[in-house]
Amino acid sequence: MKYMRIRGNGRHGRRFAILCLALIVTLPTWPATAVSPRPAPAGHDHAAALAVAPSAGERALRLQALLGQHSVLAAEFMRGRIRGDENFAQSANAALGRNTDAMAQLLGELLGAATAKRFAELWQEHVVELFTYAGGLADQDDAVLAEAREELIEYEEDLAGFFVGASHGRLTTRAAGGAMRMHVDHLLDQADAYAARDYPASNRLYRESYRHTYELGGVLAAALLSAKDAGALRAPIWRLRSQLGKLLAEHVVLVEDVTRAAVTGSPDFTAAGQMLNGNTRDLATAMDSLFGAAAAREFQSLWAHHVDQVVAYAAATAARDSARREQARASLHALEGRLAAFLEGATGKRLRSTSLTDALLAHDQMLLRHAEAFAAKEYGTAHEMAFETYDHMYELARLLSAAFGATVAARLPVGGVATGDGGMAGVVARR
Amino acid sequence: MPARAALLVALAVLLTTGLARSGPPGPGPSAPGAPASGAPGGTASEAPGGPADTFRSVRTYPAVAEPVRLRIPALGVDSDLQRLDRLADGTVAVPGRADRAGWFAQGPRPGQPGPAVVLGHVDSRTGPGVFFGLARIRPGAVVHVDRADASTIEFRVTEVSRVPKSRFPTDLVYGPTLEPTLRLVTCGGGFDESRRSYRDNVIVFATPA
């Protein structure tokens, strides 16, 4: 019945406003900058591969990646609005629009164009209300905050209803509503904390939000795919790739967050660093589970050094200290080879050091370019780099998870277990 | 219509001027040439690169202790855990005693990312084994695993299945994922007297409670 309420008239207005916003943020408001030659991707182009013949598993991973990216971009967008950083907020919004378009395209492949169009409308409106909420925080306008919250609650319900309908009831109203509510709560709460300068809380919620939306992507994919296709999402190799992708892409997101704080000397640097450390710990924990404690310690040492050098590069960029920048770049380059050699050894040469070194070089180059662009306030370039680094990491996660999975599988026990001698066979057989 | 007009005006104002206004926490637009305001409150006292200069990533992670005991209240199971390895023929070793469960020590420890696997006998030649009642456990039942550091992790049963040993789903039981899960495995089904072996395995899947 909400379409009958007075504020319902505003929906058409908001749609028009979304169009205005989209037009503004897609205008080339920043000068084109000379970008270093793009690093070669780790393997074939991820986006192109998905466009050719995406499997159910690929589509599910893509949905996870896009939803995780949405949460990060939305948080950045809101933060930019809170601190009154016009250029950054516009760039973040353009990136958010690109992310929404990609999600709509993906859902279009699964559900048809009309359904995807409906999704895009609801999703964009939800983004506009997040923007409005951030504006209310910036202006300390309680009335705007309350109104935005009210609108967001309605969009939560609309989006939940959309997914319930699109899944033909496989996703319950309760589950969908709860998931959408949590997503919005994460974003609003992180914005509240950010505005209140409670950076530990804001960054904790930023990370929780990413993880929640990423997992939500898997839940939605399982509900939207056919039952047969959804079965692929239960395969351990898919789950390993999904979970490793989540951790590695989170590394990208958090290291970029830290470098942004580093180049600006902002007071949330320490809190952002703690979140990045949490991701580094989680990666090491995963390596322990897959390859044992000794390998995990070696991996973490190399990985931590990699992170340190990226941050050092960002700090040196902020200080305009070219000598320290080059030192950090050289250290990173040396680490690429060492990390590649480690992974080649850990996987019994299922991963080759030479190609892996190239992939890690590409990863580092994009992170450094992101830091440079952000420091120069070339936000369009910075967001472009963020997109590329994020997508590149998913391709790297595909390669790593395949090699990790095969390595572990090679040492798994085979066959059933002989855990009975028949003394109770008469009873056991009847169960 | 008034609502629509008001919204358009408000948004236009917002887009053209609102963003440029500094919100309460922010320092306002940066001066030309100054570092970008990547977060609110970038102040002179927080020199660019200051805390970043001393940043050092964490070099440790929380280790998960080895499991030492398994408890399943619904089945009255309370057993210490034997370490089990993969044998030279590729099969997994089984517990040396029917009344004692064992843990596949070359896989994840319970609570680590990935599937931890615990094996137990359904019976011996003369009587019930530690997992005699496992096939009757129901989804929702709780499994406790005590660890060497005195910590305990609880799992909740999600699924119980029985499969022919000839089609044992190694991948689903042991396959590496990063989800901290638990599998309990024993024998079930009919007993093949000629081979002195049960034909099936009972597999219980559990996730952290």
Please tell me which of the candidates B121, B125, B193 has its beta carbon nearest to residue A419. B121
Question: What's the pLDDT score for residue A2?
Answer: 32
CB contact under 8 A, B51 and A243: no
User: What is the phi/psi pair of residue A306, to 5°?
Assistant: -60, -50
Q: State residue A15's pLDDT score.
A: 41
Tell me the three state secondary structure of residue B96: coil
User: Closest residue of A to B132, CA-based?
Assistant: A428
Task: Give the CA count within 13 Å in the CB-facing half-sphere of A283.
Answer: 28
Cβ distance B29 to A303 less than 8 Å, yes or no, reads no
Instruction: Check B179 against A243: CB less than 8 A apart.
Output: yes
Give the type of residue at B127.
G
Q: Do B131 and A237 touch (CB under 8 A)?
A: no
Beta bridge partners of B153: B145
Closest CA–CA distance from residue B157 to any residue of chain A (Å): 17
Opening angle at CA A229, ends A225 and A230, nearest 5? 65
Q: Which residues of A touch B108 (CB under 8 A)?
A: 289
Give, in degrees to the nearest 5, the angle at Cα A80 between A78 and A81: 65
In this complex, do B35 and A425 lie within 8 Å of one another by their Cβ atoms?
no
ipTM, two decimals: 0.81
pLDDT band per the 50, 70, 90 thresholds, residue B8 = very low
Angle in degrees, CA B5, B9, B13, rounded to 5: 170
For an interface test with B, the pick among A7, A428, A430, A431 (most B C-beta atoms closer than 10 Å) comes out as A428
Burial class (CB in 10 A: 0-12, 13-18, 19+), B69: middle
Per-residue model confidence as pLDDT tens digits over A142-151: 999 999 999 9
Q: Which of residues 222-251 of A touch B (CB under 8 A)?
A: 235-237, 239-240, 243-244, 247
**Which residues in chain A land under pLDDT 70?**
1-53
CB count in 10 Å sphere of residue B56: 13
What are the residues facing A172 on neighbouring strands?
none
Q: Which residue of B has its CA nearest to A128?
A: B11
DSSP result, B36-87: P--STT--TTS-TTHHHHT----------PPEEEEEEGGGTEEEEEEEE-B-
* Both tokens assigned to A380: 């369009």
Model confidence over B121-166: pLDDT tens digits? 999 999 999 999 999 999 999 999 999 999 999 999 999 999 999 9
Q: Per DSSP, what are the bridge partners of residue B84?
A: B104
Residue of A nearest to B58 (CA): A277
Are residues B112 and B177 in contact, defined by beta-carbon separation less than 8 angstroms?
no
A265 neighbourhood in chain B, CB within 8 Å: 35, 42, 46-52
Query: Mind listing the pLDDT tens digit for each residue in B85-97?
Result: 999 999 999 999 9
pLDDT band at B20 (very low <50, low <70, confident <90, very high): very low
Estimate to the nearest angstrom the gap between the alpha carbon of A266 and the chain centroid: 23
For the residues B60-82, what does the mean pLDDT come to? 97
pTM of the model: 0.84
Please tell me if residue A375 touches chain B, with a CB cutoff of 8 Å: yes
Strand pairing of B197-208 and B77-84?
unpaired
Which residues make beta-bridge pairs with B188? Answer: B200
| Partner residue facing B38 (CB), from A86, A260, A422 | A260
Name chain A contacts of B102, Cβ cutoff 8 Å.
Answer: none
**Res B31 pLDDT > 60:** no
Task: Pick the residue from chain B with its C-alpha nearest to A315.
Answer: B49
**pLDDT score, position B50:** 74
B177/A239 Cβ within 8 A: yes
Residues 25-64 of A with CB under 8 A from B: none
Q: Determine contact, residues A87/A29, Cβ cutoff 8 Å.
A: yes
Element (H, E) at B116: strand B114-119
Q: Which amino acid is at A190?
A: Q
Interface touch A270/B51, C-beta < 8 Å: yes
Model pLDDT, residue A30:
23
Matching residue, tokens 């990226």: A310
Q: How far does the CA of residue A52 sit from the closest CA of chain B (Å)?
A: 27
Of A395, A390, A371, nearest to A381 by C-alpha is A371
- Report the gap between the CA of A16 and the closest CA in chain B (Å): 8
pLDDT on residue A5:
30
Pairing of strands B114-119, B101-104: antiparallel
For the cut 80, the answer to whether the pLDDT of residue B74 exceeds it is: yes
Dihedral sign, CA of A188, A193, A195, A200? negative
Cβ-based burial of A114 (10 A; exposed 0-12, middle 13-18, buried ≥19): exposed
pLDDT at position A53 is 55
pLDDT of residue A226: 87
Q: What is the structure's pLDDT at A228?
A: 85
Non-local CB neighbours of A184 within 8 Å, separated by 6+ positions: A126, A130, A152, A153, A155, A156
